[in-house]
Amino acid sequence: MKSKTTKPIIGYTTGCYDMFHIGHLNILRRAKEMCDFLVVGVTTDDLCFQRKHKYPIINEQQRMQIISAVRYVDKVVLQSDMDKLAAVERENADIVFVGSDWKGTQAWDEYEREFATVGCRVVYLKHTDGISSTLLRQKIEKNEF
């Protein structure tokens, strides 16, 4: 729920956003519905490689431009590491949004505990089934358009 007081609710979410698709748009739209100001971290090319062992098809500068153009997004920052608590503190986030596919994982259970120490909560947004950058990449590689 958006703020009815003077302090705006700041939301934060991150992602690679490679080959921007409807699942990405759904997350950003749903997140914006629950906050006044939405900050989106776009994962750097190097961090994407470090985590997924492959570079994005679209480079980080272009991905930042794409995310900046989405009307639900108020601010775009680069995510160059996995220190999510530092990002929450830096952006003064009240809520971190993440896909529901992460709910109940050890990592996100720990993030919830960490964020709570600075007054931030996690909201899990429904994952859009049937679409992902990985699926798009596979279709491209197999010429399945």
How many CB atoms within 10 Å of residue 122? 20
pLDDT digits (tens), the chain, 145 positions: 565 667 899 999 999 999 888 888 999 999 999 999 999 999 999 999 999 898 999 999 999 999 999 999 999 999 999 999 999 999 999 999 998 889 999 999 999 999 999 999 999 998 766 666 666 556 666 766 6
- pLDDT for position 1: 58
Report phi then psi at 107, rounded to 5.
-60, -45
Only one residue has tokens 């429904």, namely 126
Query: Six-digit token pair at 115?
Result: 């964020």
Does domain 10-141 bear CATH number 3.40.50.620? yes
Query: Six-digit token pair at 132?
Result: 């992902």
- pLDDT for position 145: 61
pTM: 0.86
- What are the C-alpha distances in Å from 75 to residues 22, 32, 71, 81, 138? 20, 12, 10, 18, 31
